[in-house]
Structure 1
Amino acid sequence: RQLDGLELFRKATDSVGKVGVGNDFFAIGGHVALDNDRGGVVAEVLPPLIQVDGSSSEASTIRWLLDQLVKEVTANRPGAVLASKQLAQLLFIQIIRFYLAASEPLTTGWLRALNDARIAPALRLMHGEPGRPWRLGELAKQVGMSRTSFALRFKANAGVGPLTYLQNLRVSLAERGLREGAMSVSELAESLGYATDSAFSNAFKRKTGMAPKHYQSVFARMDESTSRHLR
């Protein structure tokens, strides 16, 4: 028979809803909060449903994580909330790993690039130091490839060239920084490797259609409006 999930969990104790005695099976529900800037990129390359084959190499790890999640949710032990969050993150990672290993070749994008053993180290370098003045030759050398081979392979996987990817990454980080407001535009520009505020502004405007200060003021007004509605 059909069940009203909202009604079921309205009567739940410690986030556990039961039907009957609740011994037939245990279903776990949850969600992963993706970053506002890059989350859409993740969602675009993942299917609406990933079914993990019980005979796969990842299945035993996923089964263990699920068992631990059930214990944390039901045992009401100290630190259960924190432990459950960490286990859920590990579960998400294992499911993504299974998908990457079992799926057909991915369409171009950062996830496909991350799954390429020759390209992934370059991605980690750029994400680790986005403000560093990376050059094509330097990145190619770091991964043991020629400039041409690296550039072609990177674009075939990521859909854009290495330096274009770096520029897009910097703008995404700039969007977050401007919304958080922890640094001035000049400080943010310097931290992301731009020699001048003008160079930063031009790069940001090409990608977003707005100058950095305008972008920051727009989101400041949106935050203020949201705060008023929540009062």
Structure 2
Amino acid sequence: MDPLSEMLALLGTQSSVFAGLKAGGPWALDFPPPEGIKFNAVVHGTCELSVDGEQQPIPLKAGDCFLLSRQRAFSLGSDLALPAVNCETVYRHAVNGIAHCGNAGEFFLIGGRFAFGEEAALLFDALPAVAVIKHGSEQASVLRWALERLAHELTQPSPGSSLMVQHFGHIMLVQVLRIYLAQEASGPPSWLLALSDPRLGSVLQAIHAAPARRWTVEDLAQVAGVSRSTLALKFKQKAGASPLEYVLRWRMQLATRALRNSQVTISSIAQKLGYDSDSAFSNAFKRIMNCSPREYRKRQNAASM
């Protein structure tokens, strides 16, 4: 499994919601900060998007998509100078997940919201608060296809539509992240930025394929086809951590999933991640998670009750 797929699978979707909006005439809606990651795509028509903390409104047209990776309030409308209506007043009357505002024949937008666990920061903190994908790019072709299919399932539901909507929504999320990776050549150090570099991507792939291996910087430099010093420098610049620090962090991501989702013994988890003793595993875990594996499992069990 490639690193992006594995990361999304590791995070797991705690919940997801999909809905649509049809509008027309003069209109403007205010939306509260979303709980989790939110994306919307314009099926037809045009609108303006304003996000708290961003200086200028963003014009959107058919095929454009935007992803919100932070909990910030936002507004959509034909003209954002108009008095905005709270979105709850229109979405409470939604039919089959489609809300209507004004003359609901000029504009159609669909979107989804994904709630992930606390580990989502490793992936989504790398994204800007709002990422806009324009319809004209070649990479957006898959996104447009999924958008059309998702719109069809929302507006013309049939047996199995709920599952289809979930799958098309996930396809759109993955494609937005792919497009961001293809377009983003610079930015603050992050796991996602490292993945966008072909050589570092191969290193991440190797680490994810064998997390229990006793990796050295020399081993990882051979995977990347560069010198030890070059790898150490590039990895730090792109990922914001050393290669071996990343190995440790990835192991702890796998450990937290095992502690949350299974009753496997801590000794078994330690062995599967390449640790010779429970104490070595516990010390590594405390370094990253600020608590012991046993304490972490106890907290997670209490939170799920």
Mark yes or no: TM-score above 0.5: yes
State the 1:32 CA deviation.
2.3
State the 1:106 CA deviation.
1.6
Counting only pairs closer than 5 Å after superposition, residues 196-215 of structure 1 correspond to structure 2 as: 196-215=277-296
* Map of 1:129 onto structure 2: 210
User: Percent identity, aligned pairs only?
Assistant: 34
Task: String of CA shifts for 1:46-65, please: whole Å, max 9, x gaps.
Answer: 11212222322223332222
Greater percentage in helix: 1
Counting only pairs closer than 5 Å after superposition, residues 23-102 of structure 1 correspond to structure 2 as: 23-37=105-119, 39-102=120-183
* Map of 2:42 onto structure 1: none
Task: String of CA shifts for 1:167-201, please: whole Å, max 9, x gaps.
Answer: 11112221222222421110111111111111101
Match of 1:119 among 193, 200, 211: 200
SS at match of 1:50: strand
* Map of 2:32 onto structure 1: none
TM-aligned CA distance change 1:20 to 1:206, over 3 Å = closer
SS at match of 1:27: strand
Match of 2:267 among 167, 186, 194: 186
| Inter-partner Cα distance in structure 2 for 1:222 and 1:89 | 27
| Inter-partner Cα distance in structure 2 for 1:209 and 1:152 | 27
Greater percentage in strand: 2
State the 1:116 CA deviation.
0.3
Task: String of CA shifts for 1:148-179, please: whole Å, max 9, x gaps.
Answer: 32222222211111111001111222122222
| Inter-partner Cα distance in structure 2 for 1:8 and 1:24 | 16
SS at match of 2:215: coil
* Map of 2:87 onto structure 1: 5
| Inter-partner Cα distance in structure 1 for 2:184 and 2:223 | 29
The answer to which structure, 1 or 2, has the higher relative contact order (CA under 8 A, 6+ apart) is 2
* Map of 2:101 onto structure 1: 19
TM-aligned CA distance change 1:119 to 1:74, over 3 Å = same
Q: Structure 1: which 5+ residue stretches go unaligned?
A: none
Q: Does 1:107 align with 2:188?
A: yes
Query: Cα RMSD (Å) of the superposition?
Result: 2.1
**Residue type at the aligned position of 1:193:** G
TM-aligned CA distance change 1:122 to 1:104, over 3 Å = closer
| Inter-partner Cα distance in structure 2 for 1:213 and 1:123 | 28
TM-score of the superposition, structure 2-length normalised? 0.67
Aligned length in residues = 223
* Map of 1:153 onto structure 2: 234
Asked whether the equivalents of residues 181 and 196 of structure 2 are also in contact (C-alpha less than 8 Å), the reply is yes
